[in-house]
Amino acid sequence: MIVRSLKGVVLAACCAVVILPFLAVISTSLADQQQVTAAGGYVLWPSRPNLDAYRAILAGGVVTRALLVSVGITVVGTLLSLVCITLLAYSLSRPGSLLHRPILLTVLFTLLFAPGMIPMYLTIKQLGLLDSYWSLILPGLASGFQIIIMRAFFQEIPRELIDAARIDGAGELRVLLRIVLPLSRAVIAVVGLFNAVAYWNAFFNAMLYINDTEKWPLQLVLRTYVVDNSSLGVDAADLAGGFMPPAQSMQMAILVLSLVPIALVYPFLQKHFAKGILIGAVKG
């Protein structure tokens, strides 16, 4: 009995350690100046919740722009990566096809040796991609690990199904679009979600390749204003119509904004937690 309640206490404590910071972050983002001052900076529950902080940072300043940049990179990156990965995985799912082995080895070798930061930077520079959004999108498009995972999934599809379609006169494209892809929705969803989270959360690539602060994604803005505590600049105050929500509230509101997309996809991610494929997809 004691052991059981001890287990409960330990797990409850673990959950509290995860939840409490999020609660404080969200509550502070909603709190007003009076309460923030009274509490000395952070509140665990907003007494008079309001959206002033969100209004201020979404009024078209630095944060708004960064948010749009991040959304754009995430959407374009995720879609393009799904195209690259699915097509390459499908073409590799047919042992014995032309150049199958060399292409497979080309993909597999990327798992063993990652090019370092310096050669990567020089390549981006040489390709003229510095300060371009493409520098944040292109390098992450085709993870070898995800290609291998998806290829394994495609190979599980019964050969007879594909042969039957062939006999009925379906070409390669038709087989892919009508048979293989509809049967692989789960793995495509998982790979897509993981890439979306990865694109959304990436920060160092922008620090390396993007000098122009106007092109910064949200994570970099978050680092500057929330981790390094630089002040948000005048434009935020101007745009809030002359009055300034509490600094902490604005910082926490930026933090919350960066969490919204994750919160939106979390239920979908959760749906696939139990499945083995996830463990594979995670590693990449």
Partner 1 sequence: MALDLRPPPVRTAPPTAPRARTSRWRRDRFLLLLSLPGLLVIVLFHYVPMLGNVIAFKDYRPYLTIWEAPWVGLENFRVLFDGDPAFLNALTNTLVISLVQIVFVFPVPIALALLLNSLAGERVKRVVQSVLYLPHFMSWVVVVAIFQHMLGNAGLLNNFLRSHDLATVPLLGNPDLFLALITSQVIWKDAGWGTIIFLAALSRVDAQLYEASAIDGASKTRQLWHVTLPSIRGVIVLMLILKLGDVLTVGFEQIILQQKMVGTEVSEVLDTYVYSHGVVDGNWGVAAAVGLVKGLVGMVLVFGANKVAHLLGEKGLYSK
Segment 105 to 144, residues that bind partner 1, using CB under 8 A? 106-108, 110-123, 126-127, 138-139, 141-142, 144
Q: How far is the CB of 123 from partner 1 (least distance, A)?
A: 4
Residue 47 or 123: which CB sits closer to partner 1?
A: 123
Is residue 79 a contact residue for partner 1 (CB under 8 A)? Answer: no
Cα angle for residues 216, 256, 188 (degrees, 5° grid): 75
Nearest-10 Cα torsion for 103, 106, 110, 114: -150
CB atoms within 10 A of CB 174: 13
Distance CA 240, CA 229 (A): 20
Residue 161 or 204: which CB sits closer to partner 1?
A: 204
Distance CA 172, CA 165 (A): 10
The residue behind tokens 């495609």 is 154
Residue 33 or 110: which CB sits closer to partner 1?
A: 110
Is residue 253 a contact residue for partner 1 (CB under 8 A)? Answer: no
Q: How far is the CB of 24 from partner 1 (least distance, A)?
A: 6
Q: How far is the CB of 126 from partner 1 (least distance, A)?
A: 7
- What tokens appear for 181 in the block? 């892809």
- Taking CB under 8 A as the rule, which mask of x and - marks residues 212-251 in contact with partner 1? -------xx-xx--xxx-------------------x--x
CB atoms within 10 A of CB 65: 17
Is residue 71 a contact residue for partner 1 (CB under 8 A)? Answer: no
Q: How far is the CB of 14 from partner 1 (least distance, A)?
A: 6
| Spatial CB neighbours of 145, under 8 Å, sequence gap ≥ 6 | 111, 280, 281, 283, 284
80 to 25, 74, 87, 250: CA distances (angstroms): 34, 10, 11, 34
Residue 59 or 259: which CB sits closer to partner 1?
A: 259
Query: How many residues contact partner 1, by CB under 8 A?
Result: 89
Nearest to 69 by CA among 200, 222, 194: 200
Q: How far is the CB of 242 from partner 1 (least distance, A)?
A: 26
Residue 189 or 203: which CB sits closer to partner 1?
A: 203
Residue 61 or 217: which CB sits closer to partner 1?
A: 217
Q: Which stretch binds partner 1 (CB under 8 A): 50-58, 61-69, 100-108, 181-189?
A: 100-108
Residue 241 or 263: which CB sits closer to partner 1?
A: 263
Q: Which stretch binds partner 1 (CB under 8 A): 47-55, 59-67, 77-85, 183-191?
A: 77-85
125-163 residues labelled b (16+ CB within 10 A) or e (exposed): eeeebeebbebbbbbbebbbbbbbbbbebbeeeeeeebe
The stretches of 47-158 forming alpha helices (DSSP H) are 52-57, 62-91, 100-112, 117-126, 134-137, 144-156
Among 92, 149, 190, 281, binds partner 1 (CB under 8 A): 92
